[in-house]
Structure 1
Amino acid sequence: MSSDSFSGHLRSALFLCTLLFFLNPSSSSNSDQRQFLLKFKSTLANSNSLNTWNEETHICNFTGIVCNSDKAVTEINLSNQKLAGVLAFDSLCSLNSIQKISLGSNLLHGTISNHLSNCTSLEYLDLAENFFSGEVPDLSPLTQLKYLSLNLSGFSGRFPWKSLENLTGLRFLSLGDNPFDKTPFPLEILKLYNLSNLYLTNCTIEGQIPEAIGNLSLLESLQLSDNYLVGEIPVGVTKLTKLQMLELYNNELSGVFPTGLSNLVNLQQFDVSTNSLVGDLSELKNLTRLESLQLFENGFSGTIPQEFGEFKFLKQFSIYTNKFTGELPARIGSWAEFEFIDASENYLTGSIPPDMCKMGKMEKLLMIDNNFTGGLPENYASCESLVRLRVSNNSLSGQVPDGIWSLPNLGMIDLEMNQFEGQVAANVGQAKSLTQLFLANNGFSGELPVEISNVSSLVEIELNSNRFSGQIPANLGELQKLSNLYLQDNMFSGVIPESLSSCVSLNEINLGGNLLSGQIPASLGALVGLNSLNLSGNKLSGVIPASLTSLKLTLIDLSNNMLIGRVPQPLLLVAYNGSFAGNQGLCADRSKVLPECSPVSHKSGNVKVSVYCFIVGALVFLLSLVSYLLFVKMSKIDRKSPIDRGGSWNVKQFHVLKFSEDEILRSLKQENMIGKGGSGDVYKVVLGCGEQLAVKHMWKSEPESGSWRSSRSSAAILPKEKTQWREYEAEVAALSSLRHMNVVKLYCSISSEDSNLLVYEYMPNGSLWDQLHINKKIKMDWSVRYEIAMGAAKGLEYLHHGCERPMLHRDVKSSNILLDDEMKPKLADFGLAKIVQTGKVMDSTHIIAGTHGYIAPEYGYTYNVTEKSDIYSFGVVLMELVTGKKPVDPEFGEYKDIVFWVHNEMRTKEELISLVDTSISKDAKEEAVKMLSIAVHCTMKLPALRPSMRMVVKMLEEIEPNSFTDIVIEKVGETDVSLCKN
């Protein structure tokens, strides 16, 4: 070959190499891909997990990035990385080879503009469990998509169902738990013949399930729960023979199971609970692969097929609130690692199946309200996995196996309303997880073992209506978490233990109908959280301790004892007519039912009474003299001022102010007091310019001996003062950073060595409680009630979702919703509020937070508090607004509250309008019933079934009264406004 020819070939080769270099995407587009990825990163507020995304690291080594052999990005896998910010979807779709984008379970927000047209190669898209807003963009460009997950992503409005017709390759479709506009079952779904998994739970679908659902023959999972579906389950479902999961719960389905449902032989999880289905279970007896069967809250009847006893894989079985009869199959739950059974509220008979804990995994045995007979099978005495045992209201008898009392994981023992006998075994002291012990209405006898005081986790003890005798254990005060103590209607004798005052969490005490003697312990006045005290029907003597007046009682019953002396006036305010009846030695000032007190009682020849009255009178005179001298001394500082204005005061300012602390202090006089609460006295302060403020005064520490408050027992005061200090710190921490038009404004805090002052905006119309139940001076038509509900909901939504650090209020109630001069609501009293710790469940401390009637049921068995507890309390407020009734009222029945009453009435009454407050106009009552339905959702027993506050606001917006013509636009933040600004 000549040199010229060789040179020509060499030049051609070099040209070809150069051309290939520039055509190779791995060399020409790497820099572009890097810039697209870095642009995506730049939009994120929290990208700590993306430290490898920089200019030095090769893009294929970026965290979460997968490349193909040509070094082109094909996958972005960043689920559950705590990424926050607005999603730059255009940057991701600019990656030409991208096939998978997985960003689920993050903190992404904002809208997604329609940049999907460049993502034509995308096969996998996961944006689930984020906080997006606005509508889902048009999905039709994603023709290659096989996997689409948008559940719980925050999207709302109209979903682009029509665009699904282009996504015929979809195998996995998950759109649930989003507040989309209500729509009939989207027929576009029925053309996605490749679907194996369809999740449309809780996305506002109404109407009937179409018969053509049977054409989706590859479906392995079909979930249409928590919607508005009606009618019968279509026969088409019986064609889905590959189904392993079928969930249709919480709809309005009716009728019987379709013939042929037995064809679903691969079914493992079947849930049709909370519907209106009827008929028997004969179609299910051949579904031998079932692992979880949930049929509760329907109208099913007949017997449980004996075949269920041979199901080799069954682990979960719930059939409560139906009409089943006959016996449970004896071998049910004995094959697999059975987890729970709930057969409550049926008409079942016979014995409790003995072998459901055979594999040692059973956690819940729930059989309330049936006709079971026999005893508790001995086998369960060794079931260490058992967490809840509830067999109340049956006809069970005999003695409880000793091992039951000491099971290590058992949190609840509920044996009420049976015919059990014998004693509570001493080994109950080893039950280290027990929180609730319910034995009422049985034949238990003997002494309550002192070892019960070792069960430090106990929250509730209900032993009423048995034959217990002997003394109440003296060391019961060691139960620091005890909230409710019901020992009434037994034969307990001896004195009331002084140690009860150490049970700092006690909310209710009922020791009525026993043989107790001695005096009422004055130390009970230290129980700052006590709401209800019943000591009636005993042999108690002596005077009623004045310390009880410091309690925030809603019920007191001391009737039918041998008490003497004057009834403290504050107790008369919370008493009913019979609270002090049957005590011949009691008198009271200005009482309609008790004799008037006098220095010498002529009605009684009892010398002790006369002597007592003399001593009391002398003490009153001496205390009055001391008080007068102190008053004269204090008046030199400031007439009728409860605090010493001297000394050093520290002011923490949270808004722009134009007043001084001295102007506040001068106004704290007795005549300006407008309220006394559990956490402090409240004063109305009018500034020189006419602006009004509310000031809460809280003592920081116990007053020194000789101060104007020293007449009160320090033993009774100290726990309360410590609580006030904690509440003061909590309120300042909570309110100082909040800026929302539905949260009361804290202008500043003023503190000294012994006092704390909180200065708020003044709310002239008081609280919602006052307007609903006390004053009733302002007519509250439906539009006013709706605005109050919506405003309070938006305030709570801000706390839960809008704050930089989400917050739990923990004491939501109508008395903590204040009303301004236009009846606009504002959340107040943040003394129990807690900041939610990132990534953790809030621990509520040993003291149950909240108020009787508003407290969520989970407080009874756990101290792990979430925002769902606030939502329960808010649901109670909604019930108050609609019905006009108080949370606790005798008309609901003993131990029942408004939640029980509303849930029960809504389930049984055809005319729900009868539940609405009669003062609400006829035209608005249907809208009120809709709000009541929202309240029912908020007060579901299981926290997981309650909506978020964001969802509650959305639901309330959907029932906005038609008469509203102007819409108030709520702002998350608000501008500081100076008081008395020149």
Structure 2
Amino acid sequence: MASVLFLFLLRLLLLLLLLLPLIFSLNQEGLYLQQVKLSLSDPTQSLSSWNPRDDTPCNWSGVICDSVSRSVVAVDLSDFQLAGPFPTFFCRLPSLSSLSLFNNAINASLPDDIASCSGLQRLNLSQNFLAGSIPDALSKITNLRLLDLSGNNFSGEIPVSFGEFRRLETLNLVENLLNGTIPGSLGNISSLKELQLAYNPFSRSEIPSAFGNLTKLEVLWLANCNLVDRIPDIFGGMTRLKNLDLSNNRLSGSIPVSITHLKSLVQIELFNNSLFGEFPLGLSNLTALRRIDVSMNHLTGTIPDDLCALQLESLNLFENRLEGPLPESIVRSPYLNELKLFNNKLSGQLPSKLGQNSPLVHLDVSYNGFSGAIPENLCAKGALEELILIYNSFSGKIPPSLGKCTSLSRVRMRNNKLSGSVPDDFWGLHNVYLLELVENSLSGSISSKISSAKNLSILMISENQFSGSIPEEIGSLSNLTELSGSENMFSGKIPGNLVKLSQLGKLDLSDNKLSGELPKGIGALKRLNELNLANNRLSGNIPSEIGSLPVLNYLDLASNHLSGSIPLELQNLKLNSLNLSNNLLSGALPPLYAEEIYRDSFLGNPGLCKNTPSLCPRIEKGKNQGYWLLKAIFLLAIVVFAVGVIWFFFKYKKFKQNKNGIAVSKWKSFHKLGFSEYEIAVSLSEDKVIGSGASGKVYKVVLKNGEIVAVKKLWQGARKEDNSLDSEKDGFEAEVETLGKIRHKNIVRLWCCCNTSNCKLLVYEYMPNGSLGDLLHGSRKRFLDWPTRYKVALDAAEGLSYLHHDCAPPIVHRDIKSNNILLDSEFGARVADFGLAKFLNSGKDSEPMSVIAGSCGYIAPEYAYTLRVNEKSDIYSFGMVILELVTGRPPNDPEFGDKNLANWVYTTVDCRGLDQAIDPKLGSKYKEEIYRVLNVGLLCTSSLPINRPSMRRVVKLLQEAATESRPAIASLLVTSSTCEGL
């Protein structure tokens, strides 16, 4: 028995010895790569094919071997979602010549022993989380041809030793935190073809003159590098240069002549500097030039004829001081798709054949002195999308050919001398969302074909000579948010179908000849913010349902023939302006309006004010002059007595209130108030506190008239927190200065304020549903269905768009987040908390802030390291809010690790699909619409500010998201093939 067992064990041992080579057959390079795998976190199992039982790694994903020697020559792990420090085991692969870890989460600093990767020719570590300084040792990799470290968090100086590279062709350090100066030693890299250093917060410096030695350079990208002084005359030897981008710096002077000698130049971007002098004639020598942007400078003179004769695709010369005509030679280019010349002093006629030979897409010549007819062939190639001609002197008719231009989406012809009737087809262009014809001499009527303009959102045709009735078909434009047709000659009744326009926010048909009654069902216009029908011939009663319009704050029905009493329901409105004067109204005033401040709202109604006749004075003739003299003396005596009593009362009140820390004499109102400020001063008790933050406490105060207000009491002293207000004083003054000047349905109303040395109070309208952040993530968390979330996103976007585009100067909020979006009783959104807001000076460089302002998770990446504020920072923050609404997750969820919400969404969509990024509570009913809104959020959170759409465009994209019928999967949301193992 023992011998049999011995023989069995012996055979088993022999079998194991035979299998041992098969089990441990992986070659040395494979073992090194196994060490790489062990050193990295691989949450998506992208390295699952790296099997240690293989004899060679050549079939592993991302690994490329030489076909003869079977040695590893390249490793490409792009988009593998790997995390951890840089694995130096790569450097032990003797034949490795190319390594790419693009778009992962490689973190920590780059080790000095990376120099041991001596055989590398290509090293791409872009779009990771590498930090610290760039190692000098990289220059010891003598064979390196491409070095891409863009999109990381490297700081400090660019190593001077980089000038020792002898074979480097591409150096890309874009979008890091490099804060030294640009070293002139880079000019020693004679082999360099692409040098990209854009979007770094470098110290103020000049363009190194040594760059003139880079004779093989094809791409030079130095945008947003804090460059100053003149552009050096160093380009004479760069005969191969194709793309030159020096935009968004502080360069001054004129464009050097040496640039005009670059025969290979395809694209030149010098916009947003301070370049002076005449337009350089030498640019016309650049026969290869396709795209030129020298906008937002101070160039003078005329546009060279030879420049326009080039085969251009894009010509941007806007915001300069150019004069004279646009050369006829511009029509020769078969490629021209973008022509932007706005804000100059150009004159003459546009070339009659403009657009005939080229697929023109964007044309903007606004704010010039152009005259003559609009060219007939602008849309000859059927590509024209934007036609902007405002503030010129164009005359004649709108060309009939534009009525056939179905590609048009944005048309602005305001303030010209256009006349004649508008072509019928032009009214019905189905892609147009903005049609602006204000301040011309256009006549005729609105065609019934307007029913085809299904995408129309804004129709502005005021100050023309339009006549006839407004067609019923206008009520089918479901996307219409603004209809402005004042100062025309429209007659007949207001179409009853207007009440079907559920998105309508502004209706202005004042100064026409409209008659009949106001349409029934007007209470259905729940988004209506402004209603102006003044100076018409309207009759009948004022509908009581107007009082049910939740966001109406401007109502003007003056100078009509309206009769009957004023509906009591109008007291439900929170109006900034009310005018019912010069009608035939009668009866008593509603109690809320029986106040002196509303006197001018009711003048010229003889039968009105029976209960308060003093508020509606009427001039009576034939009275005895002596009687009026005695009456005046008597009234004067009463006034003197009243002033004395009031003076004593105020002194006594001031004495009492100062004892409590509130000086009621320092109140300032911004709206007509239906309550007394004194009520506020005595109502701030701790049992009414509904919130507390970095700047102060918020109280809910119920007033005697039943109205509810929110009162913010700012902390005393200089209580500050990181990333909050610069100081209490700055925050208070910023909020008062901002909210005291603006009026919009999606901006929270500041009723009044109190500012004394002892106390600072801000009194707002009360938002019963609190903040969006609270409802999504906070103590009041509750489920919000998708229509509600979409409504919040669109409302907030319209408020921000108003701040950025309709305020003068524009306003940047600087602290957009879900907690600063408040919701009314119907979940209408208001942008709030303007303690960090800044006015932007148009045409000037943005000034850096002293500290980072904003809230963690919402701060745009470039703002965090440049401290420069502009609208793009708000757009990034708003994009994070959109992602919150879609995903239901806060921007700094612990699950994200080192990533933020935007990165998490990208990763989840790429590896697990769109459905995994969306809040599962939303269900599938609105899936396509949610996909489109998610795409808007990702556009807004683009890492490069230039790629983010304007807020006006964001509003349009959100509106399209709810009506779009084509597939929702956009180019940003492409599923990666590297996630097959999930």
Q: Provide the TM-score with structure 1 as the length reference.
A: 0.63
Task: Please state if 1:349 is matched with 2:298.
Answer: no
Contact 2:696-2:715 within 8 A present in 1 as well: no
Selected match of 1:533 from 555, 573, 580: 555
SS of the residue corresponding to residue 525 of structure 1 reads helix
Contact 1:206-1:228 within 8 A present in 2 as well: yes
Q: Deviations over 1:570-629 (max 9, x none)?
A: 457896652232223443999985479xxxxx99xxxxxxxxxxxxxxxxxxxxxxxxxx
How big is the shift at 1:120? 4.5
Q: 1:958 to 1:560 in 2, by over 3 A?
A: closer
Q: Distance in 2 between matches of 1:247 and 1:77?
A: 33
Report the residue type matching 1:302 in the other structure: G
Report the residue type matching 1:235 in the other structure: V
Q: Distance in 1 between matches of 2:805 and 2:859?
A: 19
Report the residue type matching 1:251 in the other structure: N
| Percent sequence identity over aligned pairs | 31
Task: Please state if 1:694 is matched with 2:689.
Answer: yes
Q: Distance in 2 between matches of 1:816 and 1:76?
A: 64
Residue in 2 that maps onto 1:422: 444
Q: Distance in 2 between matches of 1:218 and 1:841?
A: 55
Report the residue type matching 1:849 in the other structure: D
Unaligned runs of 5+ residues in structure 1 are: 1-20, 597-601, 604-669, 677-681, 688-692, 697-739, 748-756, 769-780, 793-808, 861-865, 884-897, 913-928, 939-946, 960-971, 976-982
How big is the shift at 1:849? 1.5
Report the residue type matching 1:347 in the other structure: G
Residue in 2 that maps onto 1:244: 266
Contact 2:177-2:865 within 8 A present in 1 as well: no
Q: Distance in 1 between matches of 2:112 and 2:594?
A: 68
Residue in 2 that maps onto 1:405: 427
Residue in 2 that maps onto 1:276: 298
Q: Distance in 2 between matches of 1:568 and 1:156?
A: 65
How big is the shift at 1:117? 3.2
How big is the shift at 1:215? 2.6
How big is the shift at 1:286? 5.7
Q: Distance in 1 between matches of 2:232 and 2:605?
A: 71
How big is the shift at 1:404? 0.7
Contact 1:743-1:826 within 8 A present in 2 as well: no
How big is the shift at 1:400? 0.8
How big is the shift at 1:544? 2.6
Report the residue type matching 1:306 in the other structure: E
Residue in 2 that maps onto 1:32: 32
Q: 1:468 to 1:265 in 2, by over 3 A?
A: same
Report the residue type matching 2:148 in the other structure: L
How big is the shift at 1:367? 0.8
Contact 1:135-1:158 within 8 A present in 2 as well: no
Task: Please state if 1:765 is matched with 2:763.
Answer: no
Residue in 2 that maps onto 1:254: 276
Q: Distance in 2 between matches of 1:142 and 1:260?
A: 41
Task: Please state if 1:386 is matched with 2:405.
Answer: no
Q: Distance in 1 between matches of 2:231 and 2:469?
A: 60
SS of the residue corresponding to residue 223 of structure 2 reads coil
Residue in 2 that maps onto 1:450: 472
How big is the shift at 1:871? 9.7
Task: Please state if 1:330 is matched with 2:348.
Answer: no
Task: Please state if 1:845 is matched with 2:843.
Answer: no
Comparing 569-578 and 333-342, the one that deviates more: 569-578
Residue in 2 that maps onto 1:150: 150
Residue in 2 that maps onto 1:10: none
Q: Counterparts of 1:506-585 in structure 2 under 5 Å?
A: 506-571=528-593, 578-585=600-607
Q: 1:957 to 1:309 in 2, by over 3 A?
A: closer
How big is the shift at 1:234? 0.9
Contact 1:784-1:823 within 8 A present in 2 as well: no
Report the residue type matching 2:394 in the other structure: F
Q: Distance in 1 between matches of 2:863 and 2:599?
A: 41
Q: Distance in 2 between matches of 1:237 and 1:335?
A: 29
Task: Please state if 1:201 is matched with 2:229.
Answer: no
Contact 2:346-2:370 within 8 A present in 1 as well: yes
Contact 2:301-2:321 within 8 A present in 1 as well: yes
How big is the shift at 1:190? 3.7
How big is the shift at 1:342? 0.7
Report the residue type matching 1:421 in the other structure: S
Contact 2:471-2:495 within 8 A present in 1 as well: yes
Task: Please state if 1:360 is matched with 2:309.
Answer: no
Unaligned runs of 5+ residues in structure 2 are: 1-20, 152-173, 622-674, 700-707, 718-724, 737-744, 778-785, 807-811, 822-829, 871-890, 895-982
Q: Distance in 1 between matches of 2:79 and 2:751?
A: 40
Q: Distance in 1 between matches of 2:695 and 2:599?
A: 39
How big is the shift at 1:63? 4.1
Task: Please state if 1:482 is matched with 2:431.
Answer: no
Q: 1:233 to 1:671 in 2, by over 3 A?
A: closer
Contact 2:414-2:437 within 8 A present in 1 as well: yes
Q: Distance in 2 between matches of 1:399 and 1:871?
A: 47
How big is the shift at 1:199? 1.6
Q: Counterparts of 1:790-939 in structure 2 under 5 Å?
A: 831-832=771-772, 844-845=790-791, 848-850=794-796, 855-856=801-802, 870=816, 903=842, 930=847
How big is the shift at 1:813? 8.3
How big is the shift at 1:846? 8.4
Residue in 1 that maps onto 2:236: 214
Q: 1:123 to 1:233 in 2, by over 3 A?
A: farther
SS of the residue corresponding to residue 695 of structure 1 reads strand
Contact 1:512-1:536 within 8 A present in 2 as well: yes
Q: Counterparts of 1:134-149 in structure 2 under 5 Å?
A: 138=136, 140-141=139-140, 143=142, 144-146=144-146, 148=148
Q: Deviations over 1:892-913 (max 9, x none)?
A: xxxxxx88xx64xx68xxxx9x
Task: Please state if 1:462 is matched with 2:457.
Answer: no
How big is the shift at 1:406? 1.2
Q: 1:767 to 1:467 in 2, by over 3 A?
A: farther
Q: 1:286 to 1:425 in 2, by over 3 A?
A: closer
Q: Deviations over 1:642-663 (max 9, x none)?
A: xxxxxxxxxxxxxxxxxxxxxx
Q: Distance in 2 between matches of 1:492 and 1:201?
A: 55
Contact 2:482-2:507 within 8 A present in 1 as well: yes
Report the residue type matching 1:501 in the other structure: G
Number of residues of Structure 1 aligned to a counterpart in Structure 2: 719
Q: 1:683 to 1:468 in 2, by over 3 A?
A: same
Task: Please state if 1:170 is matched with 2:200.
Answer: no
How big is the shift at 1:763? 5.4
Q: Deviations over 1:836-887 (max 9, x none)?
A: 9xxx999843885149975447999xxxxx999959999999999789xxxx
Q: Distance in 2 between matches of 1:790 and 1:115?
A: 51
Residue in 2 that maps onto 1:493: 515
Selected match of 1:117 from 115, 118, 128: 115
Q: Deviations over 1:491-525 (max 9, x none)?
A: 11112223222122222111111111222222122
Q: Distance in 2 between matches of 1:848 and 1:155?
A: 34
Contact 2:125-2:150 within 8 A present in 1 as well: yes
How big is the shift at 1:479? 1.0
SS of the residue corresponding to residue 321 of structure 1 reads coil
Residue in 1 that maps onto 2:656: none
How big is the shift at 1:553? 2.4
Report the residue type matching 1:39 in the other structure: S
Q: Distance in 1 between matches of 2:100 and 2:352?
A: 48
Report the residue type matching 1:515 in the other structure: R
Contact 1:504-1:847 within 8 A present in 2 as well: no
Contact 1:454-1:478 within 8 A present in 2 as well: yes
Contact 1:518-1:542 within 8 A present in 2 as well: yes
Selected match of 1:396 from 376, 393, 418: 418
Q: 1:425 to 1:301 in 2, by over 3 A?
A: same
Q: Deviations over 1:442-486 (max 9, x none)?
A: 111111110111111111111111111111111212111111111
Report the residue type matching 1:526 in the other structure: S
Q: Distance in 2 between matches of 1:125 and 1:518?
A: 78
How big is the shift at 1:184? 2.2
Contact 1:480-1:846 within 8 A present in 2 as well: no
